[in-house]
Structure 1
Amino acid sequence: MTDQAVDTGGARLSVQAREDGFLGRTRELKGLCADIERAGLDTLSGRKAPRARVLLIAGRPGSGRSALAEELVRQVAHRYPDGVLRARLSEPGGTPVPVERVARDLLTALELPTPPGAAEDELAEALREALAGRRALLLLDDAVDAAQVDALLPDSPESLVVAVSGGPLTGISDVRPCTLGGLDTKSALELLSRHTGSVRITVDPRAAEGLVEECQAQPAALMMAGGWLAARPKAAVADLAKHLHAEGDESGTPLARVFRLAYGSLPAPAARILRLLSLAPAGLVDPHTASALAGCSVSSARTTLDDFVALGLLHALDAPLPQYEVPGCLQPLLKALAESQDRPAELQLARARMLERTVRLLQSCRAITETDSPQAREKLLGMPRSLRFPSPRAAAEWLGVRRPALLASARLAVADGELDTLARRLMSQLVRTMVAHIGTQAAAADLYGLHGLVLDVAERRGLAREQAAALLNLGDLDARTGRTAEALVRFRTALDAGRRANDPYATGRAMESVGGAHLELGDYDRAADWFGRALAQRLARDERADAARLYGRIATAHTYAGRYGEALRGWRAAVAGHRKEGDVAAQARALSELARVQEYAGRPEECLRTCQEAVEWARQAEDQRLQAALHLRTADILEHLGDPAAARLHRATAERMLGEELQEVVTGEEPPEQGPNACEIRSTSAED
């Protein structure tokens, strides 16, 4: 297993990015490493430790607690051959990240399945089972409380959990805490000199030590102080120290005082951009986000973001595309500034610009995959050059890098409640873009969450049509993951919403899906009844292709119930319907199913004739696998009728067609189209 980061609450700096710049904390690192080796309370009492050892690094925001955790992980990672996993447990504003989301992302990092819509307890248990018996290292950053950490602890004493928090994790037994203060003076001075140069520190060491004292040796405050001095080569270190001292302790923490100084020295446009970064979803910023928030060009936004990095106001992330992170310790300060200096309408307008830009980028990201569509190419060429992607690969890379921010943007837009139209457009484009680049199956977990958000907006706004679409999509995902009873409830609710909206597509699809759920649950009578209701609607609307398909679904329900006579009538009606529509492939499959039922009903001669007819249609449809399956069924029938020579010929024909695939057919695996839910609608609807 490789070293992996999990972007739950926001992106993380890479290990390499912090390895080269780490300073001090020698005593703390030594103590933490010793705590790993020290016997726990269970060991001392003669019992085997039931869970992983937990080390806690506690400190105020800006104390360098996350940097220390990363350095510890770097130093001890070689002891844990099963790899390192990282997750952030709180949003930039301090809101706890749901355990369900963290567990899902950790399972994904382990390349294990994560059923969409699974409950928190189920996912947490799956994570513990996955880590049982492994020697893994978990870094859980920005933990809000002990319950978050406790739910994710591996049941493996050979593993290690490093938790980062603002305070104690009361409730977790045998936690080894390490509480951080400031850096030692030597390390603090070296941190300053990295920004200012060594000369300005050595010529006035007392002033430098005074500045360190005013910053209480907190790394974040020192970095901003160093950035302020670096931008002013002629300013004396003593002047900055005196200025901070003059403000006094009553003006806030050292971090707040240095931040106010750095912010106050910015030009008005840059100061406005910095304030508006508090609106960035998940604290993640790229040039497009900053450009949209401030209403400036993308190039000038990137220049400003790079300037913020030099000033210690932003972190540049190790990513293939320009990506920045707003430090968590500055989030509340930026939010307070934005609320005090910008009118609510201005902030809402900035949010709207950001969402609109995101929608257009998603449109461009999806359109570049539609290489065969002239309309898509024309739409793409009509976009500004700054919004276009040079290739599908570049678009997929952007989607991968920005995924945490895009999902956070959707969640924030729905929670805001004032920009529901933009939120609906954003979620629609995000769903379609993910399906285009990742696929429905691979993106199922994210799609489940997005459809849930669509449902929230639809219910809040009374949009029955969108409510029905969201419920159908959620029900489809529930059904795929075996939660058939839950899916049935969603399909019935979707039917009610579709009727309120007078939407025949939604009602027809809902009735068919209700029938499919009953079929899966083994209630064949109700399945046939609901398929019959859907069929009646299709016939009334003269939707012949769908009607032919529903005849087959009704016949399937009767087959499972052992009512072969009704099943035969249903498949004959399906064959006739597909023949009228000219769908050769569907006609061949329906004839194959008709032959199967004839075999079950004890009519071998009829089955043989139907198989021969089905082979001809399968040949016209160029469905070689179906042809082979029909030849095998024909061989079985011929043996039953006492003609083994002819049976051998048909088996040989099937063997030539399939080669290595023959064994799969012989063992009973059916073509994908022939399963009981073959006709169930499972793709993302264009309606949402």
Structure 2
Amino acid sequence: MSDPRFAILGPLEVWSGGVLVPVPGARQRALLAILLADAGRVVSAATLADTVWDGAPPEGAEQTLRSYVMRVRRALGVELGGRVVTSPPGYLITADPSELDTAVFADLCSRARDAARAEDWSAAARHLDAALPLWRGDPLADVPAARVLPATTRLTEQWLQARELRAEAALNLGLPDTVLAELRELSAEHPYRERMHWLLLLALYRGGRRGEALAVYQGIARRLRSETGLEPGPELRDLHQRLLADDGALAWRRPEVRDTASGSGTASAEDAAAVVPADDVPGADLAGADVPGAGVPGAGVPGAGGAGPADRPSLARSPIDDLPRDIPDFSGRAAELVTLLAAAEQAPHAVVVEAVNGMAGVGKTALVVRAAHRLAARYPDARLYLDLRGHDPERAPLAPDDALRVLLTTLGVAATRIPEPADERAALWRAEMAGRRCLLVLDNAADSAQVQPLLPGTASGLVLVTSRRRLTGLAGVHTLSLDVLPEADALDLLARIAGAERVAACPAEAREVVRLCGFLPLAVRIAGARLAARPAWTPADLADRLAEARRRLDLLTAEHLAVRASFELGHRSLAGSERPAERLAAAAFRTLGRWPGPDLTAGPAAALLGLAFDDAEDVLESLVDAHLLESRSPGRYRFHDLVRVYAEELAEKGSDTAVGVEGAEQDKVDGADGADDQAGLHALLVWYLNTAMNASDAQTPGLARSLIAAAPADPRFPPRTFPDYESATRWFDAEYANVLAAVDVALRLGARHVAAQLPLTLSWHLQTRSRFTELIELLTARLDDGDPRTVAILHSHLGTANCRLWRFDVADHHFRESLALRRRTGDRRGEGTILVNLGSVADELGDPEQAVAYRLQALPIFRELGDRAGEAVCLVNLGWSHHSAGRLDEALEYSAQALTLYSRLGNVHGEGEALSGLGCFRLAMGHHAEAVGLLEQALAKRREIGDRLLEADTLIDLGAAFDGGGDGDRAVAAWREAQEILVEIGHPRVAEVAGLLEGR
């Protein structure tokens, strides 16, 4: 579940990247719920306010509503928050239909209705079996305010219609008993829904309970008369008359299927019984094994794809069934199960092969075995299972020749008939399977080469394969990659094993348990078993123990089940591979465990592993193929949480995985396997510092390199460069957590230069993101660095960050500390920068003449050094100081010079500063139209760099320009937009804007 998903068919849920996004606050949840219920449509502010406050919105509700919108955006995060859009007269949320459970449900129901109109009841059932599990309860069950919405009533009606159509499909497939209990329950819950009663009566009749059907009708009729004064409707009365007459036309009739070769043919009830839905639909378990007569061959039902060999009479062979037991506590995987079940509906020209891959413990075998049992009735000749031992701790993978011997013997072929030559044995296997309707489960495959000789040659069978690798080497294979469970399914699995009451009693702690298990089914199963075996424990007790990473894999062990052992098998299979590239990947896996960042790309990985870029990328992809790494987006690689713990264990213990590798590959493995892991970490740190410096320089051309000192780089691992502001900003957004991790690693290794310089590279980025408090904490932690030049820069950045928060007294302290250090170390450029900044503080504290004096001291320093970027900064600030002193002509002149310099440097931020100054100065002169034009240009620059605070500042000034020019409506719109931004980032200037809007 890596893509965003919005779910309202039950409690409100928002998922991003496979993680449940919390949306705190009852009114914020109500607001989001209302928007999702009408996704893509504008909901007026009045309607939102009326619903959020239960029909009694307070005074000023629409303004408060804007703050709730900001909180919702903040809760949804950077990626999803932008989906909530202001669109007069209200708001809307944008989402692709595939991201909305309501849209997916509606689409599947529409397909089911189309199939029903075509009398393709098996297809209708299949679509509904995929749709109904999307319902997790009443729509928006945890949002009381949303229950009055028309959308919830509409959704509930769609759900009931889907349940009715699902029951109708079962009746038309000759399976009345499978839906009888459900129809009884629904009829009792909806006593005035005559369509439900009609289906219940027909189900009773077709189930051989005509007398009961007549009695039920009388009860329905009495209730309608007593409670409504009405008789049953004409359709229900007509059915009653036909029941009285025992009308044979009501009985189920075997549908006719036309053979594609002969143009004729019939289908049996048993074939209809083989149409299997997902197991999570209450009362809709149509597993063929539970249907009387299942296993008897036939032609299928219309639309089921049962043409070709499946339409022929069964071969006269005894059925063989050696499938493993289906586990009773299977949880989730409804969509994946539908995918596997749909494979049986195909009518290909070659055997269908469905290959399920995923990391160790993700539940591949459990899913395939469940699907096999559900499909058993379709394959009456044989249901075969074979463990290929691809990752067996004690035995080597089963060779294809040996696997063929086992399979042939299982089919009853005498040992004397099984030839020795591999090609002859494979030919005999294909001959024995020809024409058989056989289901073959090949579990735990090592690779495609092991599977290929075992595939039947005709289209009458289905092969289900599990492997930790993606078996892309099999021609025509359909692959299904399993991810970990969603939180809800993981909690359900925990409850099934440990006990529903214990889990329900501690919901938050239970969620923490499954999170610490990484939502991995094997880990959750073991955790549940631990709880079940310890009645005195609560989920909180287990969560406390699992929280300690060093003990986590020890705790996730129960008898023969062990998470660590599962990971060891995958790692050993690579280490013992005949392929040098896989042995290299195994060695690299341990070294990657030394990196604490959330993920990696090939550039820093190459530096860490001591490999060329292409080799490093190949290693990372090999680990992805083996499911020891994940790649949720192109070029980015990360560990699953539990795999990371295992990799860290290996990194601490050391490894001998390089044994047996020859020649050049040996050299590569030695480099990756830790002959000098610290050297690899140092190379990675240098890569991050120099890349981050390049990114910062792309954001502020000419400025970053004057403040940040790069580190000598190994030419084998060149840092990344950035062509423009946007690419640099995207890199910082993606790599922020990794840069912080690099700072921690640098401190641990004693790499003081990297530890001090890396936070400086983040300064500009965090300012543009209005994350000033975070920046202050990061920089303050480095003030004990000891190097006076570095400490001077840290004080400078701390002063700037506090200025942005209007803490001018604190900023003045940091700037003065920095100025003293700059002068002591002879840092002329730094001295000029601090003088400019002290001027900013003087301006804000109401002393523009002192500000001008500071900046006139700085200007000749920058010109002497030829520092055009510093000169531009000084000029633009001199403009503001002269403005504060009332000298507007001088202000315009200095800002115009600054704009020219910034444009030559390509500094977008500086251009915005200069344009903003020019606009404000024209406004002060009363030239409102000119001011609007300049400020709109400045606003575009602010938005281009993504600095939310500067955007709000410019909107405030633009509002003043509109207001001065007599356009009050546009002024209010600008100020309200500024207010939304300031509320969103939590800035104190919001009070000023509220004053501007008061009385408007």
TM range (shorter): 0.3 to 0.5
Q: Which has the higher contact order (CA 8 A, sep 6+)?
A: 1
Decide which structure has the larger Cα Rg and report it.
2
Greater helix share, structure number: 1
Q: Normalised by the size of structure 1, how large is the TM-score?
A: 0.48
TM-score using structure 2 length: 0.35
